[in-house]
Amino acid sequence: MRLFLKYVSVFVLGIILIVVILQCLISYRIEGKTLTGHDNLDLTKNINADLLFLGSSRTWAHFDPIFFDSTFNLKSANIGVDGHSELSMATTRLNHYLQNNQPPRFIILNIDPFIYKGSVHNNTNFLYKDVFARYAFLPKEENKQIVDYFQFTQPEKYIPLLSVFRYNLLWDILKLKPGSTPYEKYGFAFHNEQWDTLYWPPSKENMKFYFKPAHIPALKAELSGINLFCKSKGIKLLCIQTPVYKVIYDSSAFNQTGQMCKESGIPFIDTNQESIINNIQFFYNSNHLNRRGIDEMNKILANNQMLHKFLAP
């Protein structure tokens, strides 16, 4: 019996040793790098941007830092989070950024009828949780808020390799991206492709995600809170509403966002102009612009006096 227990213990110790060594090697390998491009927490450390883009995938895929840098003579970065239209994620991501950088001078928050309040402590949106699982094991102080936001479990935080295995990160860790695309450098993911309307026919489906009138007071309060927070840090906040394809465009809903910003004391720009929203060639799906669409939107922004005034030194 003793011999049996001895060998079982040795085997288990061997497992622990291997697991710890592998986890150390993995942590060393991915430190400061990105696996998918979405996990850019390390990449946005110590960049001290002047202008920050905040919001959902419609931030992430629409705001090109290179355009803003050259047009407005600034240093900008995009920290939009794919799949997360809730304002609670925007604030969580902003907090992470501020822990690792000087506060920016400006923040552009993407706003549209798809936003919702969300909750930092009781988040219910776990889209792309797997992407952030690399930060789960023994989370650094600066990453704790994001890790808690996705509600990683205690075993995932303290058992080596568990989060790597559970969220299938091994292959991504092995093939590790070089980190040279604009997406990986600036957090901006542009899409060159055209909308495949045969596979994804235009539909009004996304309109069901519009916020409801009952949600407006809470959203206004949240926006005012973000505005106050920015003011306390000396940051100027601007909201921009980026274009959607006409099938999901309802002017009454899209006008409400402007009204909310006005009532929250936040300047607002709407880029939903007919020249863009009526042209399917500018989209890769109903609510995301492709490269041509972004260029078109940038022309509008480049000529927008309000934006020039806002971003003036």
Partner 1 sequence: MLFNSLHFAIFLPIVFLLYWGVTGERLKIQNAILLIASLYFYGAWDFRFLFLLTFSIFLDYYTGIKIYQSKEISKKKFWLWLSIIINLGFLGLFKYYNFFVESLSDALVLAGIKLNTSTLNVILPIGISFYTFHGLSYIIDIYKGRIEPEKNFIDYSLFVSFFPLLVAGPIERATHLLPQIKKERVFNYPLAVDGLKQILWGLFKKIVIADNCAIYADEIFNNSESLSGSTLLLGALFFTIQIYGDFSGYSDIALGTARLFGFDLLRNFAFPYFSRDIAEFWRRWHISLSTWFRDYLYIPLGGSKGGNWMRVRNTFIIFIVSGFWHGANWTFIGWGFLNALFIIPSILKKTNRTNLNIVAQGKILPSPREFFQMAMTFSLTVFAWIFFRAENISHAFSIISEIISTSLFQLPYFPEIGSTGPLFILTIFFFLVEWVGREHQHALQAFKHPDRKVARWAFYYIIFFITIFYASSASEKQFIYFQF
Q: Taking CB under 8 A as the rule, does residue 170 contact partner 1?
A: yes
> In b/e form, how buried is each residue of 245-270, taking b as 16+ CB within 10 angstroms?
bbbbbeeebbebbbebbeebebebbb
At closest approach, how far in Å is the CB of 149 from partner 1?
22
Total Cβ atoms within 10 A of residue 74:
17
Q: Which amino acid is present at 311?
A: L
As given in the structure block, the two tokens for residue 270 are: 């709407």
75, 117, 157, 166: residue in contact with partner 1 (rule CB under 8 A):
166
Q: Taking CB under 8 A as the rule, does residue 176 contact partner 1?
A: no
53, 67, 106, 167: residue in contact with partner 1 (rule CB under 8 A):
167
Stretch that binds partner 1, among 157-165, 214-222, 262-270, 274-282 (CB under 8 A): 157-165
9, 153, 168, 273: residue in contact with partner 1 (rule CB under 8 A):
168
CA distance readout (Å), 171 to 162, 163, 176, 260, 264: 14, 13, 8, 44, 46
At closest approach, how far in Å is the CB of 168 from partner 1?
5
Q: Looking only at residues 25 through 64 of this chain, which bind partner 1 when binding is defined by CB under 8 A?
A: none
- Of 30, 49, 31, 65, nearest to 188 (Cα)? 65
- What SS3 state is found at 198? coil
> CA-to-CA distance for 307 and 15, rounded, in angstroms?
58
At closest approach, how far in Å is the CB of 24 from partner 1?
16
> CA-to-CA distance for 213 and 178, rounded, in angstroms?
45
At closest approach, how far in Å is the CB of 17 from partner 1?
10
Q: Taking CB under 8 A as the rule, does residue 126 contact partner 1?
A: no
Stretch that binds partner 1, among 86-94, 100-108, 165-173, 179-187 (CB under 8 A): 165-173
16, 18, 174, 228: residue in contact with partner 1 (rule CB under 8 A):
18
82 within 8 A of 57, measured Cβ to Cβ: yes
> CA-to-CA distance for 214 and 78, rounded, in angstroms?
31
Stretch that binds partner 1, among 8-16, 68-76, 115-123, 276-284 (CB under 8 A): 8-16
Nearer to partner 1, 153 or 278 (CB): 153
Cα-based torsion angle of the residue sequence 249, 251, 257, 263 in order, rounded to the nearest 10 degrees: 180
At closest approach, how far in Å is the CB of 35 from partner 1?
15
Sheet holding 51-54, edge to edge: 76-78, 51-54, 106-110, 236-241, 268-270
Nearer to partner 1, 36 or 279 (CB): 36
Nearer to partner 1, 164 or 226 (CB): 164
Q: Taking CB under 8 A as the rule, does residue 254 contact partner 1?
A: no
Stretch that binds partner 1, among 49-57, 108-116, 121-129, 166-174 (CB under 8 A): 166-174
Q: Which residues contact 129 (CB under 8 A, 6 or more apart)?
A: 150, 152, 167
> In b/e form, how buried is each residue of 13-22, taking b as 16+ CB within 10 angstroms?
eeeeeebeee
Q: Taking CB under 8 A as the rule, does residue 235 contact partner 1?
A: no
At closest approach, how far in Å is the CB of 166 from partner 1?
4
Nearer to partner 1, 131 or 237 (CB): 131
Residues that bind partner 1 (CB under 8 A): 1, 3-4, 7-8, 11, 14-15, 18, 161-162, 165-168, 170
